[in-house]
């Protein structure tokens, strides 16, 4: 079976000027303007003009990325008669996947992302951190982290690339042990320990926002970051609550999708990070990237 899946990027893919090149297209304009209305502040201006430090703030980056991803998704649907059977998103990108699959309306998705960004930004800034780990097996990283209660593998991005997250003091010790084993750890410029136990209180509060939105049924398989499996009806709230403090199992997700017959992956949204990761997970699959007007215009299945 040669099935097509859409994948959506997460935080870190934002950049000043994002969406500016598609704004004059009616469909994109409608999505971006609607996002402004729902959010109650000028996300369009931040996307187009910055400043970068304000756009990078998780409260702004999250809705900006989802807004552009969905605008590009609708433009792609207008361009080609797209028959996709699966979706997945990396961390924040899972909300774009929910919207694209029809499980969430754009309005509810943006409302959730706004609240998610707000709650995550409130978690004791400066107390937690994240680091990208290379040159060491995932199992060895898991073994080191298991000796600590506030540091965990946060993102399984691709073989040989894992991100750890947690309490800064414990992180320093974990990074030293990784170096002793011949690995390399690079601290990331983030405002908190995302996808770690430090986010549990934020996740509990976020459940209140999840309870206010409706989830729809869909024939499109949506793979969860939490367990790397298709989401079943009724599981949405529990999985999205857990997602805030659980590991992003991206490697496992892509491998499971391939096992389920997906051979073509189209990354829709700013940047090309997922395109690169998927090729590292399995070099035999076909990968496309739709990140701006140029890549949209040149796209051919």
Candidates 13, 90, 195, 224; catalytic one: 195
Task: Kindly write down the DSSP assignment for every residue of 48-88, as one continuous string.
Answer: HH--HHHHHSHHHHHHHHHHHHHHHHHHHHHHS-----EEE
Cα 289 to chain center, whole Å? 15
Which of 296, 287, 268 shows the shortest CA–CA distance to 6?
Answer: 268
Tokens of 182: 């011949």
Which of 11, 119, 124, 123 shows the shortest CA–CA distance to 69?
Answer: 11
Q: How far is CA 203 from CA 14, 140, 196, in A?
A: 23, 28, 11
Which of 86, 94, 103, 96 shows the shortest CA–CA distance to 6?
Answer: 86
Q: Give φ, ψ of 35 to 5 degrees.
A: -60, -45
- CB under 8 A, 24+ apart: contacts of 50-59: 50/16, 51/16, 52/15, 52/16, 55/14, 55/15, 55/16, 56/14, 57/121, 57/191, 58/11, 58/117, 58/120, 58/121, 58/191, 58/192, 59/114, 59/117, 59/118, 59/121
Candidates 91, 165, 224, 291; catalytic one: 91
Exposure of 201 in the CB half-sphere (CA atoms within 13 A): 8
Active site annotation includes 195: yes
Active site annotation includes 91: yes
Angle of CA points 41, 42, 44, to nearest 5°: 145
- Kindly list the catalytic residues: 91, 195
């Amino acid at each position: 079976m040669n099935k097509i899946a859409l994948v959506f990027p997460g935080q870190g893919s934002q950049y000043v000027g994002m969406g500016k090149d598609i704004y004059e297209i009616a469909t994109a304009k409608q999505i971006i303007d609607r996002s402004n209305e729902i959010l109650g502040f000028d996300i369009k201006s931040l996307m187009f003009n910055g400043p970068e430090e304000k756009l990078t703030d998780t409260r702004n980056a999250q809705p900006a990325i989802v807004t552009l991803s969905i605008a590009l998704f609708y433009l792609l649907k207008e361009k080609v008669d797209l028959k996709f059977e699966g979706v997945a998103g990396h961390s924040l990108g899972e909300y774009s996947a929910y919207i694209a699959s029809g499980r969430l309306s754009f309005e509810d998705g943006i409302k959730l992302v706004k609240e998610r960004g707000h709650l995550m930004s409130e978690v004791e800034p400066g107390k937690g951190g994240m680091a990208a780990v290379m040159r060491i097996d995932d199992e060895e990283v898991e073994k080191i982290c298991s000796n600590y209660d506030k540091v965990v593998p946060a993102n399984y991005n691709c073989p040989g690339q894992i991100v750890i997250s947690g309490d800064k003091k414990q992180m320093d010790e974990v990074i030293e042990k990784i170096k002793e084993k011949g690995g390399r750890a690079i601290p990331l410029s983030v405002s908190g320990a995302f996808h770690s136990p430090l986010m549990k209180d934020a996740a509990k509060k976020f459940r209140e926002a999840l309870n206010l939105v409706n989830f729809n049924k869909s024939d499109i398989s949506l793979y969860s970051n939490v367990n790397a499996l298709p989401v079943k009806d009724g599981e949405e709230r529990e999985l999205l609550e857990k997602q805030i403090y659980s590991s992003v199992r991206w490697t496992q997700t892509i491998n499971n999708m391939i096992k389920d017959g997906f051979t073509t992956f189209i990354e829709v949204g700013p940047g090309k990070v997922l395109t690169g990761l998927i090729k590292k997970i399995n070099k035999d699959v076909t990968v496309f990237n739709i990140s701006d007007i140029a890549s949209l215009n040149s796209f051919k299945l």
